[in-house]
Amino acid sequence: MPELPELVKTLLKPEAYPETPGQIELVQTQMSFVFLADEYVYKVKKPVDLGYLDYTTLDKRLFFCQQEIKLNRRLCPEVYLDVMPITTGNGKISIGGQGKIIEYAVKMRRLPREAMLDVLLGKNQVSGEMMTGIARKLAEFHRKAESSTEISAFGKLDAITVNTDENFTQTEKYLSTTISEKKYGRIKDYTDNFTRENASLFRKRLEEGRIRDCHGDLHAAHICFSDGICIYDCIEFNDRFRYCDVASEIAFLAMDLDHYGRADLSHHLVSAYVDESRDEGLLKLLDFYKCYRAYVRGKVESFKLDDPYISGAEKRHLLDVASSYFDLAHAYTGSRPLLLITTGLAGTGKSVLAQALAKRLGAAVISSDVTRKNLAGIPLAEHHFEEFDSGIYSAAFSRLTYDRMFAGAKRILGEGGSVILDACFIKADERRKAKRLAEEANAGFFIVECTLDEPLARQRLARRLEEGSVSDGRWEVYQEQKRRFEPVVEVPSPNYVIIDTSQPVDKAAKEVLDKLD
């Protein structure tokens, strides 16, 4: 790794700060050095020219520091405090000191990591009410956001196609690396056809004043639930990335929620925003802009692969992340929703695979474990062990569980969404009911059977009981399910795949998607 600049080394010392923090942590991005100093954060812009941003002179860095404060105070005024000079004098470099100004830093209040939306999503601690709060804040922000002839020009069809064409040109080098040629072609065809066939729709958005000075980088990691809702870190370095249709902004966050495997929250966000803004025209553009935003994220993650300093492990992770965004972009081009069900014995990795597929398909996951315990009024983290055919695991209660799952799937499919039913589906009759549901909803239907060698499945079941899980599956359940499992014969080969879940989950998900494709 390159050696840190002397200024950065100095700013890792407490005496350089007006508050003399007890601990300083450095976080680097492509464009900034970020210093986490107790209750404050100081951000110093790197003197770089990345094409889409230019921080190469001190005057430019000062200007963009001021812009960062000004623009972010629109949504998060209490966090963005000031632009601080970094000075040298009497042989000492300090923030806010006396002497010659050698650099500038944006000073912010430090937000609690545990209250960030991306962290809360990882802990399954996000509700529909929280999405409503975000939607209301964004609707008010968009109503007040600046609009002008210059800003509206970015909503014109030629400006939109400049952006989409640039995406495809810039990602050609990653064909067969993070995106297949087939998916690249389908996404490009979908994008070109949509813009060509909907010119009047884009004109209407212009006429309605829907092109605004927006946030520009609206994803879960930039939203914090601390003393209300703080939406921070908007794009200050390039107006082109901020000036957009509000539909594109909402689609960004909705796509991000889809990528977290929370299509339910994505749908709630969009519905609440439309209710609050009365912008029903947004819905006609939602999948187009979701596709665009997912593609951009795939592109950005692919760019990171060009960094010669990343490790092999980091590279493998980036490959998985980038391909997952491209898979999601491809999913938005589909003409009809999908109902996918898992089948297999306890401990064979159905739930883990379901979540991995959900983020690549933008699908909602309905879990039998969660549904069963919700119906019984049992806390999800509480184990409830009963004999295979008794209590909440009786045939009657299992039918009730599957019926509730089917009802949820029917609603989502009816709204045009895709669904993954995460359950054992050991009986052919249950799988046939799912197939009929898909047919009635004019949705695609696919079965994924998860398999795993018995010793590995037994190890997983034992580990799951020790670590805690919503599932009550154990070895005795596995054995009884194995005895009763009815082989899959309800669908033809193109609609069915058997997956060995001993492999890494991203590889297993790719295998399923390749079969779906």
Helix, strand, coil abundance in the chain, percent, nearest 5: 55, 15, 30
Indicate the residue type of 384.
H
CB 104 within 8 A of CB 61: yes
- DSSP-derived letter for residue 261 is T
Query: What is the rounded distance in angstroms from the CA atom of residue 131 to the CA atom of residue 213?
Result: 22
pLDDT at 388: 67
Strands 444-451 and 496-500: parallel
Which of 245, 221, 250, 248 has the alpha carbon at shortest distance from 233?
A: 221
pLDDT at 90: 85
pLDDT at 389: 72
CB 506 within 8 A of CB 381: no
pTM: 0.89
pLDDT at 307: 82
Which residues contact residue 66 at a Cβ distance below 8 angstroms, ignoring those fewer than 6 apart?
83
CB 461 within 8 A of CB 473: yes
pLDDT at 384: 62
User: DSSP labels for 475-516?
Assistant: HHHHHHHHHHPPPP-SS-GGGEEEEETTS-HHHHHHHHHHHH
For the chain, 517 residues long, give each residue's pLDDT as a single digit of tens: 568 899 999 999 999 999 999 999 999 988 999 999 999 999 999 999 988 899 999 999 999 999 999 999 999 999 999 999 999 998 899 999 999 999 999 999 999 999 999 999 999 899 999 999 999 999 999 999 999 999 999 999 999 999 999 999 999 999 999 999 999 999 999 999 999 999 999 999 999 999 999 999 999 999 999 989 999 999 999 999 999 999 999 999 999 999 999 999 999 999 999 999 999 999 999 999 999 999 999 999 999 998 887 888 999 999 999 999 999 999 999 878 999 999 999 999 999 999 999 999 999 999 998 999 889 888 776 666 666 676 677 889 889 999 999 999 999 999 889 999 999 999 999 999 999 999 999 999 999 999 999 999 999 888 877 776 666 667 888 898 999 999 999 999 999 999 999 999 999 999 999 998 7
- Ramachandran angles phi, psi of 491, nearest 5°: -135, 155
CA distances 14 to 99, 106, 212, 276, Å, are: 19, 17, 41, 46
The length of the chain, given as a count of residues: 517
pLDDT at 200: 97
CB atoms within 10 A of CB 379: 10
Query: What is the rounded distance in angstroms from the CA atom of residue 65 to the CA atom of residue 83?
Result: 6
Q: Name the token pair of 493.
A: 């080969």
CB 223 within 8 A of CB 367: no
Domains of the chain: 6-110 (no CATH), 115-329 (3.90.1200.10), 336-516 (3.40.50.300)
pLDDT at 310: 82
pLDDT at 469: 67
Structure confidence by residue, pLDDT tens digits, 221-273: 999 999 899 999 999 999 999 999 999 999 999 999 999 999 999 999 999 99
- Ramachandran angles phi, psi of 448, nearest 5°: -115, 115
Which of 196, 4, 13 has the alpha carbon at shortest distance from 92?
A: 13
* Secondary structure string (H, E, C) spanning 414-476: HCCCCEEEECCCCCHHHHHHHHHHHHHCCCEEEEEEEECCHHHHHHHHHHHHHHCCCCCCCHH
CB 206 within 8 A of CB 200: no
